[in-house]
Amino acid sequence: MPFVWNFPLFTIVLCLFSGVLCMMLRGRTARNYTIVLEAVLIVMVSAVLWYTYTAGSAFTYSMGEFPAPWGNEIRAGCLEALIALAFLIVMLCSVIGGWRFTALDIDESKINLYFSILNLMTAALMAMAWTNDIFTGYVFVEILTLTSCGVLIAREIGRTTLAAVRYMILNLLGSGLFLLGVVLLYDLTGNLLMVPMHEAIEELWAAGQGIAPLTLAMGIITIGLGIKSGLFPFHYWMPDTYGMATPTSGAVLSSLVSKSYIFLLIKIVWRVVGLDIWREMPVARILFVLGICGMVAGSMSAIRVNNINSMVAFSSAAQIGYIYMGIGLGGPAGFTAAIFHILGHAVTKSLLFLTTPRLAEVSGDSLRFKDLQGSGYRAPESGAFFMLAALSMIGIPIFAGFSSKILFGIAAADEGGWRFFVIMLALAFSTLLNILYFLRTVIRIYTERGSTLTRPVIDMPGGVKWDYVLPAAVLTLANLFLGLFSWAAVDVIEKGLGMFF
Amino acid sequence: MIHNLLSNYVEAGAIVLFGIGFTMLLFHKNLIKKLIGMNIMDTGVFLFLASMGYISGRKAPIIANGVTDMEAYINPVPAGLVLTGIVVSVSVTAVMLALSVRLYKRYHTLDLDDVYALSVHINEDR
């Protein structure tokens, strides 16, 4: 067994261990430790990505060397490695770039606990990317839920408590449904590992038995994970949750946590149910419709709000809609587009959440649009990064947003029929709406005259340092990379999807 | 249909419990009652799992009197899953109760509609 086979397990175990260790460290030390840890993890995951990509096949690591139907397994292909790598990079950039706000928002004595929770969250993200066992998936879904509540309420103001309660209630509904779905699947197949489950499901489906319970179980799982990731009509908790948390948390929650649930769903669809069976299920069609509705409804809500963070948060609802539309389409091209959009949106949305608090900082600590007038001049770096990210969200060529829209278009053309027209119309309409609210905001932050600043700008908190600019630049470069070299990412994604069998 | 429901009355009851808990968690205004609903919901799933895992006439999977025949024992995995689920449910309940305490300290009510109205009233922005 090559040594690199151990790395996926190392990433999980190291994060879990660091979660405990950070509780004993002092605040700043915990931060530095977390940054070093994440850099090490990035190296490990890159090694896994390189190994699986060059080997052209995935590997399965059985814990305790128990053979297939009994043990617990970790499985790494190049898609899992790519997702884990993207998650770690975004996490690292959010931790470094959000530090100046974290230090202000969180009590000095509790910062080590914040990093402890972040490390546990990373462990859950990694485990959900690697696991080959559906019940392990459930356990880490719950850990992710608890830790996301933790990073949300780390900023102790009233609104975050209320936001956390609402977020947790919806998440608990989602977890309950997901657990019931997993239990139903277990009862039907008698297995928890994905490969034997898939074999049993294929057998059942071919024999025409248990079609109703299988569809029910998949429906429950899909709705459960959909609620947790903010699928339309369950997206109303987003602005409070993402917008009120400290910027690092907001970036991590919107770009990683919700994506992690979606990736688990994609794994279940491919590796447990199988693509052919998924396409025959009505669940896929319902998901398609909900995705389209989300694309429009999320943008509509984003237009109405008067606060920049709520707008950015509601635009997540629209982007989640894109991803679910791709999954609901059911073809491999749809999944490729959805996964590409997961990556593109993760780097863009985290950048947006890192820039908005700085824009607010130079506008009298207000996130309202009318106070942000001209803030692009007062905080030139943030203004520029915000504009680049906004252009990507709209879908201007050379940015990631453009490539993912092209990929969705190609997937729709592959599918043909009425869905092609629906998707093209939805894409066009959603792009228009995106232009309406993102470009409006960009123009506003670069318009000096007529500024109606109600509160005087007390002082302009010092300039920004490399620890703010560097992560934002890395995220922007990642965005440009995904936009300019989308073929490379698509190649890895397609190869990884091919390894799913 | 009815016959199936009657012969699987434990599972049917479990799903009813799940439904009760789910609606309570979704629709009840009071946070503590929501949490009770969540616990009922989880208990429903555990009952479902436990009843599916039990086969009448068989024994717990501990080899006694030298009987090694597989048919004599039940599968221990569902029980293990129930235990894991209980642990998860307990920790989620603990976190939610802590959150309720914090919410109550700030707003002096557990009625979520009231909390929301209060929060809008005092216009907490940032």
**Among the listed residues A111, A83, A84, the one whose alpha carbon sits nearest the alpha carbon of residue A15:** A84
CA distance A324 to A20: 36
Which residue is it, tokens 């396409």? A279
Q: Which residue has the tokens 């102790």?
A: A156
**Nearest chain A CA: its distance from B25 CA (Å):** 7
Task: Tell me whether the omega of the peptide bond preceding residue A233 falls within 30 degrees of 0, making it cis.
Answer: yes
Q: Decide if A365 and B99 are in contact by the 8 Å CB cutoff.
A: no
Considering only CA atoms, which of A210, A237, A412 is closest in space to residue A322?
Answer: A412
Question: DSSP per residue over A36-52, as a string?
Answer: HHHHHHHHHHHHHHHHH
CA distance to partner chain A, nearest, from residue B110 (Å) = 11
Question: Are A157 and B126 inside 8 Å of each other by CB?
Answer: yes
Q: Which residues of A326-436 form beta strands (DSSP E)?
A: none
Residues B68-126 pLDDT 10s: 777 888 888 888 899 999 999 999 999 999 999 998 988 888 888 888 888 777 665 54
Does residue B100 sit at the A interface (CB-CB below 8 Å)? Answer: yes
Q: Please tell me the number of Cα atoms within 13 Å of B2 on its side-chain side.
A: 0
φ/ψ region of A223 (left if φ > 0, alpha if ψ in -120 to 50, else beta) reads: alpha
The rounded distance, in Å, linking the Cα atoms of A305 and A368 is: 9
The string of pLDDT tens digits covering residues A282-333 is 999 999 999 999 999 999 988 988 888 889 999 999 999 999 999 998 888 9
CA distance A169 to A159: 15
CATH class of the domain comprising B2-121: mainly alpha
- Chain A residues within 8 A of B116 when measuring between CB atoms: 162
CB contact under 8 A, B126 and A145: no
Residues A366 and A323: beta-carbon distance below 8 Å: no
Contact A186 B81 (CB under 8 A): yes
Nearest CA in chain A to B24: A173
The 3-state DSSP class for residue A73 equals strand
Tell me, what amino acid is at B27?
A: F
Give the count of alpha carbons within 13 A of A129, CB side only: 32
Whole-number pLDDT of residue A461: 58
Token pair 């749809």 in the structure block, residue: A334
CB-based contact, B106 to chain A, within 8 Å: yes
Q: pLDDT tens across A6-54, in order?
A: 999 999 999 999 999 999 998 889 999 999 999 999 999 999 999 999 9
| Residues of A in Cβ contact (< 8 Å) with B42 | 176, 179
Q: Nearest Cα to A375, choosing from A460, A475, A462, A251?
A: A460
How far, in Å, CA of A290 to CA of B93, rounded? Answer: 31
**Residues composing chain A:** 501
Going from N- to C-terminal start, the domains of chain B cover 2-121
Residue A233 to residues A237, A296, B100, Cα–Cα distance (Å):
10, 11, 26
Q: Where are the domains of chain A?
A: 3-455+463-498
| Dist. CA A486–CA B97, nearest whole Å | 46
Crossing angle of helices A400-415 and A332-361, in 10° steps, is: 150
pLDDT for A462 = 61
Interchain contact B124–A (C-beta under 8 A): yes
Dmax over CA atoms of chain B, in Å, equals 72
| Chain-chain contact of B88 with A139 (C-beta, under 8 angstroms) | yes
Mutate to test the interface with A, among B26, B42, B55, B88 (most CBs of A within 10 A): B88
Question: Are A431 and A405 contacting, i.e. CB atoms less than 8 angstroms apart?
Answer: yes
- Give the ranges where B2-111 is alpha helix by DSSP (H): 2-7, 9-27, 31-53, 77-107
Q: Sign of the C-alpha dihedral, residues A146, A148, A154, A160?
A: negative
Query: Which residues of chain B does A180 touch, with a Cβ-Cβ cutoff of 8 Å?
Result: 18, 45, 48
Cβ contacts below 8 Å, chain A against chain B, sum to 90
What's the ipTM?
0.93
Residue in chain A closest to B126 (alpha carbons) equals: A244
CB contact under 8 A, A173 and B25: yes
Q: Encoding tokens for residue A259?
A: 């994506």
Cα dist. A456→A23, A205, A490 in Å?
40, 67, 49
* First-last CA distance in chain B: 55
Label residue A436 exposed, middle or buried (CB < 10 Å: 0-12, 13-18, 19+).
middle
Place of tokens 């297995």: A191
Residue B107 with chain A: CB contacts under 8 Å: 158
Chain A contact residues (CB < 8 Å to B):
135, 138-139, 142, 145-146, 149-150, 153, 157-159, 161-162, 164-166, 168-169, 172-173, 175-177, 179-180, 183, 186-187, 192, 244, 307, 360, 365-368
Does residue B33 register a pLDDT over 50? yes
CB A433 within 8 A of CB A296: yes
Cβ atoms B118, A159 nearer than 8 A = no
A283: enclosing H helix or E strand = helix A282-304
Q: Do B125 and A169 touch (CB under 8 A)?
A: no
The pLDDT, as a whole number, for residue A449 is 60
- pLDDT, one tens digit for every residue, chain A (501 residues): 888 899 999 999 999 999 999 999 988 899 999 999 999 999 999 999 999 999 888 888 888 888 777 788 899 999 999 999 999 999 999 999 988 888 888 888 889 999 999 999 999 999 999 999 999 999 999 999 999 999 998 888 878 888 899 899 999 999 999 999 999 999 888 888 998 899 999 999 988 888 888 999 999 999 999 999 988 888 888 888 888 888 899 999 999 999 999 999 999 999 999 888 998 889 999 999 999 999 999 999 889 888 888 899 999 999 999 999 999 988 889 999 999 999 999 999 999 999 998 888 888 878 888 888 888 888 888 889 999 999 999 988 889 989 999 999 999 998 878 888 888 999 999 999 999 889 989 998 888 765 555 544 444 556 667 888 899 999 999 999 999 998 999 999 999 988 887
* Cross-chain Cβ contact A169/B25 below 8 Å: yes
Closest Cβ opposite residue B45 in set A159, A183, A307: A183
Please check whether residue B37 touches A, CB under 8 A.
no
Pairing of strands A59-63, A72-76: antiparallel
- The reported pLDDT for the residue numbered A452 is 54
